[in-house]
Amino acid sequence: MPVVRIPTPLRPHTDGQDSVESTGTTVGEVLGNVGTKYPALKERIFDDAGELRRFVNVYLNNEDIRYLDDLATAVAANDEVSIIPAVAGG
């Protein structure tokens, strides 16, 4: 099953888990299924229209999905989808 990696600031919305197994054959399905289980997470990564929020970046393994097929990017069973927010401090 594909795994979704959850960044530290969003872990309060996944019961503290740093990764969550999901189902689906595209990045959109995989994230959507995690969002169904964890609605507060969904709200933080998707806007009302169901698009990824512009400050949220998603990577399939180590590739930015925006130069693949965005949410339609195909996901295989052993793939890893990572949500990586920008780190602002310093």
Partner 1 sequence: MSTAVDPIERYSRQVRFPMLGEAGQRKLMASRVTICGCGALGTVLANHLVRAGVGNIRIVDRDFIETHNLQRQILFDEQDVADNLPKAEAAARKLRLINSQVNIEAVVTDIDHTNILDLVADADLILDGTDNFETRYLINDAAVKLNKPWVFGGVIGSEGQSMTIRPGITPCIRCVVQDNPPPGMTPTCETAGVLGPAVSVVASFEAVEAIKILSGAYDALNTELFVIDIWDWTFRRLKIKNLLGKVDCPCCQQKKFEWLEGDLGSHTTTLCGRNAVQIATRRSEKLNFAEMATRLNSLADVRHNAFMLRFAAEGHEFTVFPDGRAIIKGTNDISKARTLYAQFVGN
CA distances in angstroms from 90 to 71, 84, 87, listed in the order given: 31, 17, 9
The count of chain residues that interact with partner 1, using the rule CB under 8 A, is 20
Q: Is 16 in the site for partner 1 (CB under 8 A)?
A: no
One-letter amino acid at 62 equals: N
Q: Is 66 in the site for partner 1 (CB under 8 A)?
A: yes
From the CB of 47, what's the least distance to partner 1, in Å? 11
Minimum CB distance to partner 1 smaller for 23 or for 43: 43
Q: Which of 15, 21, 51, 64 binds partner 1 (CB under 8 A)?
A: 64
20-44 burial, b at 16+ Cβ within 10 Å, e below that, comes to bebebebbbbbbbbbbeebeebbeb
Q: Is 51 in the site for partner 1 (CB under 8 A)?
A: no
What contacts 72, CB < 8 A, 6 or more positions away? 26, 27, 28
Binding site for partner 1 (CB under 8 A): 8-9, 44, 53-55, 57, 59, 62-64, 66-67, 84-90
